[in-house]
Structure 1
Amino acid sequence: MFPGPLGTSLAGRALARGDWSLEALNIREHGLGRHRTVDDTPAGGGAGMVMRADVLGSAIDAAAPAGDPRPRLLMSPRGTPLTQKRVRALAQGPGALILCGRFEGVDERVIEGRGLEEVSIGDYILSGGEMAALVLLDAVVRLLPGVMGNAQSGETESFEDGLLEHPHYTRPTEWEGRAIPPVLQSGDHGVVARWRRTEAERLTQQRRPDLWQNCGISLKD
């Protein structure tokens, strides 16, 4: 599953250059017995299987020995929602160890014992944490120096200042009776910047009132 789509396009070229690196480790290498077992039935009964604390603890210790400064992340639907602020902090940090769970869940004791930070990419359930990890990695990698062709692109996107991004337009000037807003053809960069800010605020109010409330601003400011 890794690097998957991160092995293509800008991220893939940056990976080939060594601008960032990725090492995928198979938890089953630390499994128990002839079948390399990594899970067992839930204590107290119930459906599904739970990944064992001893197996995961061994895998984590092998990947990140004591003293490793990287944060230890567990992709989990019950985790703290991933935000652009957290993504930027990770991009500026020493890297990360990302644990991808499977089955019903992960033994709570390894979360506590290895200081795992649970991170969620949304209020829905996936078959495992791998796809969520790819989302997190993509969000972080694109902010690393040299990955994007224009660093400014990452500074003017949705969520960077708490707002959704303004609308975009390009040629042709008119398409199916819809024209590019005249302000974007004015050549006045100050007017364009104000229009973009106003549109970003309008879209945020309409589509994400939760974000707008957190901004603590109004269109009059």
Structure 2
Amino acid sequence: MWRATILTLFPEMFPGSLGLSLAGDALKRGVWQLEAIDIRTHGLGKHRSVDDTPAGGGAGMVMRADVLAASLDAALASDDPRPRLLMSPRGKPLTQARVRDLAAGPGAAIICGRFEGVDERLIAARQLEEISVGDYVLSGGEPAALVLLDAAVRLLPGVMGKEESGAEESFENGLLEYPHYTKPRVFEGREIPEILLSGAHGKIAAWREAEARALTEARRPDLLKSPSLRAKRSNPDS
């Protein structure tokens, strides 16, 4: 079973949206498992303190290495094979390729930071992989963890209705996804492109490929420069 362990100061934020729709149904059916652990259980003193002032001065507070280490070590066995992730705006950007890797593995242990950040020594000592969900700053790692888990869980076998549903989406082939249409045939004077009603599957596939490339060029030209997409263009049969 795919297992997610979340270390957070706000365990009540989970499962949140993950308890609904496809992910929630899969959670109830035991396709995956979610455990939210309160870091403050290992806090210090009467008030269960988890943070302190930054060394060298500055604004805000920093989450203590000793508290986080105690929480992480209590939650995970030493031989737990799951990657240890820290949601952080300075981390490597989360990509669909990384999501697929995570979905194909045993799960993930995710630390949700707060305040100004996490003591660097904890990151090094517990070999945490820092991951970012975008070039912006959130109030904490919990919303980012929900995003990562939603992306991974939907790829688990038995979660989506059709396995091919996850294959023709934005970023799966290095491009943004092509436009979609459904009934009615005419909406406020706008018609479904005739090619999509032709039944010519080869021509439809070519149209979708062209539309995906045009959208990517207009909105995310950086994706067209990726090594994986260049390799596909040079070897279209791969």
Give the TM-score category using the shorter length.
Answer: over 0.9
Helix, strand or coil at the partner of 1:106: coil
Unpaired runs of at least 5, structure 2: 1-12
Question: In 1, distance between residues paired with 2:30 and 2:48?
Answer: 33
Match of 1:155 among 152, 167, 172: 167
Cross-structure match for 1:142: 154
Q: Give the C-alpha shift of residue 65 in structure 1.
A: 2.1
Cross-structure match for 1:38: 50
The runs of at least 4 consecutive aligned structure 1 residues that moved more than 3 Å come to none
Match of 2:31 among 19, 22, 35: 19
1:69 aligns with 2:81: yes
Q: Number of residues paired by the alignment?
A: 219
Question: In 2, distance between residues paired with 1:6 and 1:96?
Answer: 15
Q: CA RMSD in A?
A: 1.0
Letter paired with 2:211: E
1:80-110 CA-to-partner distances (Å, cap 9, x unmatched) read 0000000000000011100000011000000
Question: In 1, distance between residues paired with 2:83 and 2:76?
Answer: 10
1:141-176 CA-to-partner distances (Å, cap 9, x unmatched) read 000000011111100000001000000000000111
Helix, strand or coil at the partner of 2:35: coil
Question: In 1, distance between residues paired with 2:198 and 2:192?
Answer: 11
Helix, strand or coil at the partner of 1:22: strand
Q: Give the C-alpha shift of residue 128 in structure 1.
A: 0.2
Cross-structure match for 1:117: 129
Cross-structure match for 2:61: 49
Question: In 2, distance between residues paired with 1:164 and 1:2?
Answer: 30
Q: Give the C-alpha shift of residue 213 in structure 1.
A: 1.4
Question: In 2, distance between residues paired with 1:143 and 1:93?
Answer: 11
Question: 1:1-221, aligned counterparts within 5 Å?
Answer: 1-214=13-226, 215-216=229-230
Question: In 2, distance between residues paired with 1:198 and 1:34?
Answer: 63
Helix, strand or coil at the partner of 2:144: helix
Q: Give the C-alpha shift of residue 67 in structure 1.
A: 1.2
Helix, strand or coil at the partner of 2:33: coil
Letter paired with 1:159: F
Unpaired runs of at least 5, structure 1: none
1:43-68 CA-to-partner distances (Å, cap 9, x unmatched) read 01000000000000011101112111
Letter paired with 2:173: D
Letter paired with 2:225: Q
1:98-139 CA-to-partner distances (Å, cap 9, x unmatched) read 000001100000000000000000000000000000000000
TM-score normalised by structure 1 residue count: 0.97
1:169-195 CA-to-partner distances (Å, cap 9, x unmatched) read 000001111100000000011111111
Q: Which structure has more strand as a fraction of its residues?
A: 2
Q: Give the C-alpha shift of residue 77 in structure 1.
A: 0.1
